[in-house]
Amino acid sequence: MTQSTVTPAPVTEAHPPVAAPNPRLRWVLLASGLVAALALPWFVYPPVAMDIVAMALFAIALDILLGYTGLLSFGHAAFWGSSAYVTGLIATNYGVPFPVAIIGGALFAMILALPAGYLSVRRSGIYFAMVTLAFAQMVYFVGYQWSDLTGGENGLQGVPRQFFGIELVETDSFYFYYAALPILLLGMWAAWRIVHSPFGRVLVSIRDNSQRARALGYEVDKYKVVAFVLSAGLTGLAGGVFAINHGFVALTELHWSTSGEVVLMTVLGGIGTLWGGVLGAFLVVMLADYLASSGFDGIDLVTGSVFVLVVLLFRRGLWGTVRHQWLAWQQRRSARRTADEAGTTRREP
């Protein structure tokens, strides 16, 4: 890829800045997030806590496309579900430790994403979303028809949790959480590195003005394909952990509604923020678990209503709105400081 210098477009209503406003604040947030992740199974049922972290990585992976590249994918369930199936099959048939099976599932998701991304990035906007949706439905149909391998409507059952010679049964969910958490945290760190690297800054420039990036010598389609494959790999990592956590893989993991759910989480938290995906996943999973445990049947109705309210009241999502307000306050404070210093200089003899 041709190397050149691209200056990201200025901050707009739709696209918040990529860089954190304060390095010290960034480390405080990272430390707080790590402490929250470590403490989560002490306050939430461990399998639900694991689902929260897995879905958070899923939302972050999607945000690499949606928030940082400007591509809305409705087909990420294909990578989530296919990785879950491959992870389950590897763990069941070969008896390898579950981290190895999860890596195998993530690699399969990346391989699957390569042709899908190559075909999809030739379109943009709603057409890109429709192409990814069509691809995901093809994968769903294959999973449904290939029942000898996937179990069809019954799903893939009896996925083991073998951890380097130790069998973590269903009652060991608390220990499994801490055994699998480093995998998901590593995936989140990889996502952070991607969007804060020179590659990530090029993605933001493509998002804001693809024609300008192309004129500067960047092969826009290749960057989009790489971003698509990386996003699919992180999605596959999360899908594999999800499969091991539940001990089975349902056909619904390949369904388009799973793609819609993760889009909801990303937009709810705030696109282009990464932390928004974490917050959105926490709220949606916790709300669904609370409604399910209370016997309420209209889970989709409630979550949909919450989504509509957030979109109407918080245009940038929950985390995105907080972040925007913080940046605006920082800018006002900096402007006042500059004005005070200028006034002091003028008063000096």
For the chain, the first-to-last Cα distance in angstroms comes to 56
| Average pLDDT estimate for 210-237 | 93
pTM for this prediction: 0.87
Q: Is residue 260 pLDDT above 60, yes or no?
A: yes
| Strand bridging mode 248-249 / 156-157 | antiparallel
**Residue 167 main-chain phi, psi, to 5 deg:** -90, 110
Q: Which two three-digit tokens encode residue 174?
A: 């608390």
> Which one has a higher pLDDT value, 272 or 6?
272
Separation of alpha carbons 273 and 270, rounded Å = 6
What is the per-residue pLDDT across 36-49, written as a single tens digit (0 to 9) for each?
999 999 999 999 99
CATH top class, domain 23-341: mainly alpha
CB 109 within 8 A of CB 232: yes
Q: How confident is the model at residue 68 (pLDDT cuts 50, 70, 90)?
A: very high
Residue 84: its pLDDT value, please? 95
| Average pLDDT estimate for 100-117 | 95
> Which one has a higher pLDDT value, 216 or 317?
216
Least confident of 85-99, 239-253, 297-311: 297-311
Q: How confident is the model at residue 327 (pLDDT cuts 50, 70, 90)?
A: confident
Q: Is residue 244 pLDDT above 50, yes or no?
A: yes
CB atoms within 10 A of CB 199: 15
CB atoms within 10 A of CB 98: 27
Residue with tokens 């799973």: 258
Q: Is residue 18 pLDDT above 80, yes or no?
A: no
In the chain, domain spans? 23-341
What is the per-residue pLDDT across 181-221, written as a single tens digit (0 to 9) for each?
999 999 999 999 999 999 999 999 999 988 999 998 899 99
CB 206 within 8 A of CB 223: yes
| Torsion (CA) 277, 281, 287, 292 in degrees, nearest 10 | 150
